[in-house]
Structure 1
Amino acid sequence: MSQDYLALCQFLYREARLLDARQWDEWLTCYHPKVVYWMPAWGDDDCLTSDPQREMSLIYYPSRDGLEDRVYRIKTERSAASTPEPRTTHLLSNIEIIAQDDQSCTLGYNWCTYSHRYQHSDHYFGHTVCKLLKQDDSWQIIDKKIQLNNDYINQVIDIYHL
């Protein structure tokens, strides 16, 4: 395995660990200020929606400002859907480099998240494609498209589930 591949995997594992540890401010540093964070909905014809401006999305933040607002609400307990915060475990697999140059990289990977709250456990799973930009000696996510495969769920889906 190349050093680039290992560093990219480490970056994704770190982002997942920060979510599980609820280290929100550090987690936000994984994201570029101009990130597009999008989880499209499944349409009637079993295809994902393709335009977050005109079609339904499960989550859509056109910049990091939206993520920062969401984190603020979670941290200050201004989110009934997140109080108490669930305990989560994120698992990543099948990490693949789709495209790469000196300053950016596009990755695809499968994921599963286990979530526990109110003596009840749930799991969520899907596929993500994200583009990372090289920032000094690290990476930041500039674009993240999340496909939630089990979208018939009994609660609000949130950033810590993905």
Structure 2
Amino acid sequence: MTAATWHSVVRFLGQEAKHLDDKDWDAWLALYALDAEYWIPSWDSDGTLITDPTKHVSLIYYKNRGGLEDRIFRIRTGRSASSTPLARTSHQFQLIDVSEMGGVVQVRTNWTVDSVTDHEVRSYFGTAYYSLVAQGDSWLIQSKKTIVLNDRIDQVLDVYLV
């Protein structure tokens, strides 16, 4: 893995954070491949994550970008009671590891998101795993698995809160 790849990945993931904070939904969706899997597994028991989103309840699971597009449609049209009013957010991430394997770049980040809704500040934090494929001089997200490490989640999680 080269320094240029590392910097390119940092720049790309920074764009994802920026698009979420700016509520630039079209630009955010464009970062995902059409067949991109988006998964936030739940904890089966303390310290054990579920391993199969098709057999167990997940916090969020979309098998492709169509699920993300539907979610954004509901947010935009006000058909999402859990997203009304829409939180203001600040996404921060730290790149932990980048490795290249057969044309796919595997990435691990640690992240935190602070949000405010109805004068209440909440913070979520965790780890995210990305599979990226090259697209021109940038990347496309093939899959994203986000681990939420908070012990307590006192609201409905949504894509812009993690």
Alpha-carbon distance in 2 for matches of 1:127, 1:144: 11
Alpha-carbon distance in 2 for matches of 1:33, 1:152: 32
Higher mean alpha-carbon deviation, 109-118 vs 132-141, is at: 132-141
Q: Give 3-state SS (helix, strand or coil) of 2:45's partner.
A: coil
- Aligned match of 1:32: 33
How has the CA–CA distance of structure 1 residues 46 and 102 changed in structure 2, closer, same or farther, with 3 Å as cutoff? closer
Alpha-carbon distance in 2 for matches of 1:20, 1:80: 19
- Aligned match of 2:115: 115
- Aligned match of 2:24: 23
Identity of aligned residues (%): 40
Unaligned runs of 5+ in 1: none
Question: Does structure 2 conserve the Cα–Cα contact (< 8 Å) formed by 1:9 and 1:95?
Answer: no
Query: Aligned partner of 2:13: which letter?
Result: L
RMSD across aligned positions (CA): 1.3
Runs of 4+ in 1 over 6 A off after TM superposition: none
- Aligned match of 2:161: 161
Unaligned runs of 5+ in 2: none
Count of paired positions: 161
- Aligned match of 1:149: 149
Q: State the Cα distance separating 1:46 from its structure 2 match.
A: 2.3
Q: Give 3-state SS (helix, strand or coil) of 1:43's partner.
A: strand
Question: Does structure 1 conserve the Cα–Cα contact (< 8 Å) formed by 2:39 and 2:60?
Answer: yes
Q: State the Cα distance separating 1:95 from its structure 2 match.
A: 3.0
Alpha-carbon distance in 1 for matches of 2:7, 2:96: 10
Q: State the Cα distance separating 1:45 from its structure 2 match.
A: 4.6
- Aligned match of 2:138: 138
